[in-house]
Structures are given as C-alpha cells and as structure tokens.
C-alpha cells in the first residue's frame, strides 16, 4: 500500500538523500522517496501505520529538526533560531580571542561557542556513526575536535564549523526559495464545485465531492471534476484538454472531463472520479514533482560521496602515519593528517551540485516552466533541434475571418452583419471572431434560441435567421448563415499564429537550435504557419506514428531533439523525444503526462527560457566541480608536504564550500530574458 505523508524541517538535499536511504532499510518499507520540493515522504508498506511509526522514530534519531506531520513547515522560525545561535556562537568565539581571560573561562566559552555553532552537526555525526554511516558531518566533527586539541589551532576549529553552518543556512534559504517558486504555480485548480443537495446547490471545495455526486456547472464556469452528463446540453470548450479551440457538444449520457468550460446552458454532471484523480489535477501533480528525477551528474556525485568519506579517513590516517614515520614528529604528523581530513571533506560536491540543480528547477518554475527533474534540465541543455506540432502550440486557437462567401443579392458585409447579430451574446470562439470583425453597431434581435452543438436562431426585422452549421460535411471553421431556411452565405475562419511563436523560433536559431514543423494538416496549411514563424524544415500530413518515426530517426542519428505538442496524439512523440515540451493550459492530460517539461502559460518562448536556464545551471554545476577539485587537490598537496597550515586547509574546504553554495544560488536568480544573456548565447 502506497502512503504519502508530510515531512517538514528538512532543507538539505544531501541529508534528505541519506535519510531516504536509511528509511529504505527498515523492514516492511519499500520504495521510500523524499520529495524535497513539496515536503513529502512517499513509501510502500503492507502495514503503513507500523512502518510510519518506525520511520518517525528513525527520522527523529537521524534528523532531529525534521518532523513528520500534517502541519505546514515554519521555515522562517527555524531560520531565525539557526541565525541566532550562529550569531551568538560567533560572538563568543570573537570574545575569547580578543579579550584576555583565565584559562578555565577560555575553555568554557570556547566549548560553548563550538557547541552553538555546530551542535546539530556533531549530534548527527554521532547518530549516523552508530549506524555505520560516515559522511561529511563526521569529517567536520573530527576536524573541530582535532583542531581544538592541537596547540594554537583553536581559531581554525571554530572557523571550520562557523563557515560550514553558514553554508547550511544559505543552502536552506536556497531550497526554501526554490520551493516557494514552484508552489506558487500550484494555485490554478478550480476553487469550487456546485454540489446538488436535494434540489439546492451548495458551493463546496472540489476535494469534498465524492464519486457519484451530482454537480451543476453553469455557462462560463469550468468543469471541476470528471463525470457523465445526466441533464442538459451545451457546447464545451475543451481547449485546456485537447488543444482544439472549436467547442464540442455535450449532452445526456456523454462523458465530460474537468478543465472544460461550459459555453451555453447548464449541465448536471454525475462525477466518476475524485477531484485528485481528475484531468485538471494532473497538472498540479507535475508542479510538485519537479525534483524526483536526478541528473547523471547529480547521481554520480551522490554515489561517490557514499564511499569518498570513508576513503578520506583512510588517506588521512596514511598521511599521519607516513609523516610520523619520516619525520618522527607526532604533533606535526597529527597536524598534517588533520589538515588533509579538513581539505578532503566532500561538502562542496555533495551540497553545491544538487543545490545548483534545485536552484535551476526553481528558476525555471518561477519563469513558468515546470521541469520534472534535474535529468531533464540537463538534457535540455544539449538540444540541437526542436520539432513543433502546429495547432495549439504555434497557433493561438483564436480565429480570424479568412473568407466570406455571399449568395446573389447579398454582400459580404451583410453576411458578416447577420452572423454577428446572432453571435453577439455567444461565448463560442468562432462567434467572438465574427463579432470582433464586424465594425457596424449591432442591434437587438428577438426570439433568440440557442441550439446546442449547432448554432443560434433569431428574428430580425421580421425575418428568421440561423447562424451556425447545418451541413455536417463542412470543415469545423466554417459558419453558415441562413435566412428563412435559405443559405445566404458562409464565413470561413482560420487559426492565427501566436506572436510568441515567431520570437521563439528566431531566438532558438540565435542560440544554435534548429526548428522543424511536424503537422497532421495538409502541406499548404502547414507551410503557411511555417513561413509565418520562420521554419524551413516542414513535414506535413503526418500520422502520430510518422511523427514518432521522425523523432526516432533523429535520435538514431545522435541528434538531441525536443518535441513540442499539446494533444493526445502528441503523447508518443513527447515520450520518444530527448525532451518533450507540453502546454500547461491547453495541453491534453496525456501529453502533459508524457512530457518532460510543461510550459505553464503555453508560450513557446518559454522553450528558449528552459534551454537558457538549463545551460546556465549546467555551467554553474561544472564551475563548482572544477573550482572544488582544483583547490582541494592543490591544498592536499600543500598540506601533505607541510607547506600549508590548518588555516589554509579550512579555507580550502569550508571556504570553497561556501563559495560553491553562493555560486549555486546564481542559478536561482539568473534572468534568461535579459538582452545581455541573449548576447552571450549568441556568441556560443
């Protein structure tokens, strides 16, 4: 049985990973996963309550500040406590080194300072050591204790733990900032449902509605929960589900999905799903699951740090033994071994790499791009081509009049006017386009009657008119106008290209990414859109399996390719592409589920944003790795031959870690839309 609970007070990616590994060792617990972004723990167990109690006990033992609870995390309160203890600890440290005092007072204040600066680290090190786990917490503890018992190294001991604690605070701030950026996007679900109780409607939260309940949806309202229509008939705009702008008719006995907007009339719907399982809720899940998948770089760093710490301890002992054997000076040997231990601490790698990716994910979400994991963030940086679907991705779904055909004795202007008279109160997107195109002042009409799924009847100047479609063989973007049951004209409309699509294709070319158009429409229609946005590589009249084959061939040719789509038929292509981009508003649930990245506001320019953020984040990751590796290797050599003091060792470890953490924060505050950044990408 799968169980999900909240875990708060945990902001360290490395600590979360270690805790997750230990939870998975508990008997009866399987597939435990800590999702740091949404403060949740998911695990499987045949006896969930028993397993949960064991998990709570283990969490309290290994991560005392973390709690499994249903209450929200008070990260601000925890931060204030950490900053206060750190400030007092540093103040006491400064006091003992600049104010003369008796030896007993010195040691009393020194120990108090060291405890205030790192009591969490020491306690965690002891707890993990009892379980046979050796990590950076133990290295820091050994370094502080070792420096304290070596003459004249007390200051360095406090520096080690002070800088390490400062780094942890910055890490927590970065995680919290990223978490808030992602959570801010999870507020788009319907706010209420009209639950039918007896013969009265009661407005309730969608999450309170049970399966089999009857809900009422009025014109202009969004369908909150999946179900079957039991009363009423109406046109429903399913653009948020299928990406198609032309509404569909829904009547008694037909299925209706959440997210659709009722355009005319009122529907009574018997729910078939809970709100959490409905189509609209699937987008919300994506918002909260952004950090589950790890990049190859992050996974590699995570794996090596498990064995790295033990290796460091062994090497430090070897350095101590070799120096003692060669020089015969036990104190000097101890000092060099301790310095080697301090320099070798893997904090810079273990903290900065996942933090950089986490910051990148937070930055992307803040800019309206939901990336499902750091592995997809990584893959996005290597894209060489992006293939687009046409309808709903490059086009808006907002129609414009393309052609008006009028029978003899009527002008195109008259046909447009009569059509606008009938459509002036309609919510249909085709109706809006017709009314907007008519420049004449519209008069009131009489005896208006909407025929769901067909059109509208009305009387004007004692004549009967019908605006809609009677001929089912016409294409969906054609509106007929009848006068006294005689066809007097037709209005053909066409979808329009998103202005952002033009800019997106241009900017993709500027950063070295080619564009292609894969469309199921005829070549003429596809070419019109391709020419409008500046795409030369056009492939039209493709079936879903042919799009799939095109992308598969690109991958076989070792070309990193992304695909952008919004419909159900795009799901296979989104899945096979190296990176699949789906539309968050108009994307079908299947396409959102199959994609790796969701564009929240359906703006194609956000694809450029995703690539820029990914490249910048990857650059920062390798900057951190290179910086840490070069400085640590150099410092290790100097410490080993006795040319570097404990002070240098501290700077090489904790100082580098702090720099790496601060560097990682740049990924969170990077602005991909600045012209300066555009120029940098152009040079590349």
- To the query of whether residue 226 is one of the catalytic residues in this protein, the response is no
Cα distance from N-terminal residue to C-terminal residue, the chain: 50
Give the strands of the sheet with 67-68, arranged side by side: 30-35, 40-44, 2-8, 67-68
Sign of CA dihedral 164, 169, 170, 172: positive
Please tell me whether residue 654 adopts helix, strand or coil conformation.
helix
- Residues with Cβ within 8 Å of 646's Cβ and at least 6 positions away in sequence, in order, are 147, 150, 153, 156, 335, 338, 339, 342
Q: Which two tokens stand for residue 632?
A: 């640590």
Burial code (b: 16+ CB inside 10 Å, e: under 16) for 653-662 equals bbbbbbbbbe
Stated as kind and residue range, the H or E segment containing 367 is: none
* Token pair listed for 486: 């005689």
Catalytic residue, candidates 11, 226, 264, 389: 389
Dihedrals phi, psi of 250, to nearest 5 degrees: -130, 130
CA–CA distances in Å: residue 520 to residues 244, 472, 545, 551: 13, 21, 11, 15
Nearest alpha-carbon partner for 351 in 9, 20, 661: 661
- Sheet of strand 463-468: strand arrangement: 395-406, 486-497, 478-483, 463-468, 455-460, 446-451
Using DSSP, state whether 495 is helix, strand or coil.
strand
Residue 241, classified by CB atoms within 10 Å of its CB into exposed (0-12), middle (13-18) or buried (19+), is buried
Give catalytic residue positions: 389
């Amino acid at each position: 049985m799968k169980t999900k609970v909240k875990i708060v007070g945990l902001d360290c990616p490395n600590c979360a990973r270690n805790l997750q590994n230990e939870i998975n060792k508990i008997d009866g617990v399987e597939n435990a996963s800590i999702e740091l972004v949404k403060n949740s723990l998911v695990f499987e167990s045949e006896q969930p309550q028993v397993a949960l109690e064991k998990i709570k006990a283990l969490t309290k033992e290994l991560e005392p500040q973390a709690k499994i609870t249903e209450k929200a995390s008070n990260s601000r309160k925890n931060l204030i406590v950490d900053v206060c203890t750190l400030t007092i600890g540093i103040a006491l440290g400064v006091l003992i080194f600049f104010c003369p005092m008796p030896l007993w007072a010195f040691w009393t204040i020194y120990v108090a300072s060291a405890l205030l600066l790192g009591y969490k680290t020491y306690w965690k090190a002891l707890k993990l050591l009892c379980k046979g786990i050796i990590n950076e917490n133990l290295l820091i503890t050994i370094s502080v204790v070792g420096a304290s018992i070596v003459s004249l190294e007390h200051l360095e001991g406090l520096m080690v733990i002070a800088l390490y604690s400062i780094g942890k605070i910055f890490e927590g701030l970065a995680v919290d900032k990223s978490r808030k950026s992602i959570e801010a996007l999870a507020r788009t679900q319907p706010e209420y449902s009209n639950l039918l109780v007896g013969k009265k409607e009661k407005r309730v939260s969608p999450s309170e509605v049970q399966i089999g309940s009857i809900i009422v949806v009025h014109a202009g309202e969004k369908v909150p929960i999946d179900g079957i229509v039991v009363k009423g008939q109406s046109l429903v705009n399913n653009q948020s589900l299928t990406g198609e702008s032309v509404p569909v008719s829904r009547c008694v006995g037909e299925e209706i999905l959440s997210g659709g907007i009722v355009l005319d009339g009122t529907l009574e719907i018997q729910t078939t799903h809970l709100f959490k399982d409905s189509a609209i809720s699937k987008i919300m899940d994506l918002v909260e699951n952004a950090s589950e998948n790890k990049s190859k770089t992050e996974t590699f760093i995570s794996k090596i740090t498990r064995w790295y710490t033990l290796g460091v301890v062994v090497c430090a002992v070897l350095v101590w033994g070799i120096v003692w054997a060669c020089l015969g000076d036990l104190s000097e040997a101890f000092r060099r071994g301790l310095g080697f231990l301090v320099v070798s601490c893997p904090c810079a790698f273990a903290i900065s790499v996942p933090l950089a990716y986490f910051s990148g994910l937070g930055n992307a979400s803040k800019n309206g791009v939901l990336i499902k994991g750091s592995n997809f963030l990584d893959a996005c940086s290597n894209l060489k081509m992006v293939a687009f679907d046409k309808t709903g991705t490059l086009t808006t779904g907002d129609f414009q009049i393309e052609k008006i055909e009028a029978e003899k004795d009527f002008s195109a202007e008259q046909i447009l006017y009569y059509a606008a008279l009938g459509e002036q109160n309609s919510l249909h997107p085709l109706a809006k386009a017709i009314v907007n195109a008519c420049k004449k002042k519209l008069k009131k009409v009489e005896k208006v009657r909407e025929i769901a799924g067909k059109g509208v009847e009305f009387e004007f100047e004692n004549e009967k008119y019908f605006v809609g479609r009677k001929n089912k063989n016409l294409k969906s973007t054609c509106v007929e106008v009848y006068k006294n049951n005689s066809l007097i004209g037709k209005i053909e409309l066409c979808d329009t290209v998103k202005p952002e699509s033009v800019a997106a294709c241009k900017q993709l070319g500027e950063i070295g990414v080619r564009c292609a158009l894969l469309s199921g429409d005829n070549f003429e229609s596809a070419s019109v859109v391709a020419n409008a946005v500046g795409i030369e590589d056009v492939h039209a009249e493709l079936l879903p399996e042919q799009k799939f084959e095109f992308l598969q061939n690109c991958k076989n040719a070792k070309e990193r390719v992304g695909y952008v789509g919004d419909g159900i038929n795009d799901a296979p292509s989104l899945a096979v592409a190296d990176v699949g981009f789906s539309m968050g508003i108009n994307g079908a649930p299947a396409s959102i589920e199959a994609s790796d990245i969701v564009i929240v506001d359906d703006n194609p320019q956000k694809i450029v944003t995703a690539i820029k953020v990914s490249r910048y984040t990857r650059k920062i990751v390798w900057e951190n790795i290179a910086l840490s590796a070069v400085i640590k290797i150099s410092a290790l050599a100097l410490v080993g031959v006795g040319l570097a003091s404990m002070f240098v060792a501290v700077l090489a470890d904790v100082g580098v870690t702090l720099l790496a953490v601060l560097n990682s924060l740049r990924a969170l505050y990077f602005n991909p839309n600045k012209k300066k950044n555009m120029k940098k990408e152009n040079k590349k």
